[in-house]
């Protein structure tokens, strides 16, 4: 992976990003196991200096270079400033990362990244790390995880859409937005609309109208309308639903990412009919996945209603 071997071989992978608690580490663990079962050699790279408990097999760990507790103690920084310093330190030590990654040539890479949102919306350190990886012939896709419980709160969902859009524009990588923890969504409350409304980000004016019924948000209707206009004008944000415990759900996400980073068209795996079809009609696969999750959600809601009736 030296600068002089650009034309030699490609390396494919994912940079797993998203806010704290969105399930990035759990996703890396689940995807490592899932890909391993289908015969793909996977290397997980931990780029989160605050990540101490890693359930996956970590091949490269930024803790060997720098840790957040050390930075906070020695430089008297808080967690946010410390994370920014760690990413800038990583950026200044590309040679360390290059040497570590070279030991796993021919593998598929999962980069478990920090959860500080500012690193993906306006700070350049991680963006520069991704750009350097591209120079080393890495073909990466950003997998942006968002906790599905935001769907139950229209105000928070609009905020998530704005953050996702900002991240997509700043990171400058092929992008797959994922609604994580779909298996827990019924615990968060009833959705105002069908699940496909949130995954496909359909007409957001309905969300604004829904917010207007809340006295707190009524005074901010004009602001919400403008935010929604920005999101719809770019027309970039959509989501793939994910339940890490469900193999079919993992397959849908993997196919979406393989399409985004070009792995489906590489020479790393045989081009089976299924791989070609998933690359050609990814939207259909995504719709099927969303429909399956929606059916489970509706059945769960119906069951809850039936239990309430029986109690009466």
Confidence of residue 93 (pLDDT cuts 50, 70, 90): very high
Confidence of residue 30 (pLDDT cuts 50, 70, 90): very high
Confidence of residue 44 (pLDDT cuts 50, 70, 90): very high
State yes or no: pLDDT of 35 exceeds 60.
yes
Q: Supply the pTM of this predicted model.
A: 0.82
Supply the mean pLDDT for the chain: 85
State yes or no: pLDDT of 110 exceeds 60.
yes
More confident residue, 60 or 191: 60
State yes or no: pLDDT of 266 exceeds 90.
no
Q: Could you tell me what percent of the chain has a pLDDT over 70?
A: 82
pLDDT for the residue 282: 43
pLDDT for the residue 121: 94
State yes or no: pLDDT of 27 exceeds 90.
yes
Count of CA atoms in the C-beta half-sphere (13 A) of 180: 24
Confidence of residue 242 (pLDDT cuts 50, 70, 90): very high
All domains of the chain in start order, with CATH: 11-151+173-201+239-266+282-295 (3.40.50.300)
pLDDT for the residue 274: 53
pLDDT for the residue 251: 92
Spell out the residues 6+ positions from residue 83 whose beta carbon is closer than 8 angstroms to its own: 49, 50, 68, 114, 116, 119
More confident residue, 266 or 110: 110
Residues 21-50 have a mean pLDDT of: 94
Q: CA-to-CA distance for 78 and 164, rounded, in angstroms?
A: 25
pLDDT for the residue 213: 82
């Amino acid at each position: 992976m030296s600068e002089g071997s650009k034309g030699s071989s490609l390396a494919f992978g994912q940079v797993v990003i998203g806010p704290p608690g969105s399930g990035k580490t759990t996703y890396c663990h689940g995807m490592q196991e899932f890909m391993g079962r289908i015969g793909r050699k996977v290397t997980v790279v931990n780029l989160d200096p605050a990540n101490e408990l890693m359930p996956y097999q970590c091949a490269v760990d930024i803790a060997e270079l720098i840790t957040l507790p050390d930075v906070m103690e020695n430089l008297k920084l808080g967690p946010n400033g410390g994370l920014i310093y760690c990413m800038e330190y990583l950026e200044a030590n590309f040679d360390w990362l290059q040497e570590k990654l070279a030991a796993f040539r021919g593998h598929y890479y999962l980069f478990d990244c920090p959860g500080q949102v500012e690193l993906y919306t306006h700070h350049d350190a991680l963006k520069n790390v991704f750009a350097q990886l591209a120079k080393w012939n890495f073909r990466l896709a950003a997998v942006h995880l968002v906790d599905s419980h935001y769907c139950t709160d229209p105000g928070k969902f609009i905020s998530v859409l704005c953050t996702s859009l900002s991240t997509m524009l700043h990171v400058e990588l092929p992008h797959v937005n994922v609604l994580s923890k779909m298996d827990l969504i019924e615990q968060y409350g009833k959705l105002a609309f069908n699940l496909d409304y949130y995954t496909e980000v359909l007409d957001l004016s309905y969300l604004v109208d829904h917010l207007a019924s809340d006295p707190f948000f009524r005074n901010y209707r004009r602001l919400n309308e403008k935010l929604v206009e920005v999101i719809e004008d770019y027309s970039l944000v959509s989501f793939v639903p994910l339940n890490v415990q469900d193999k079919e759900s993992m397959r849908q996400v993997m196919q979406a990412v393989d399409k985004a980073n070009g792995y489906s068209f590489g020479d790393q795996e045989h081009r089976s009919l299924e791989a070609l079809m998933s690359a050609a009609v990814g939207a259909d696969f995504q719709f099927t996945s969303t429909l399956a999750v929606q059916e489970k959600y509706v059945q769960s809601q119906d069951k809850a209603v039936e239990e309430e009736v029986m109690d009466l």
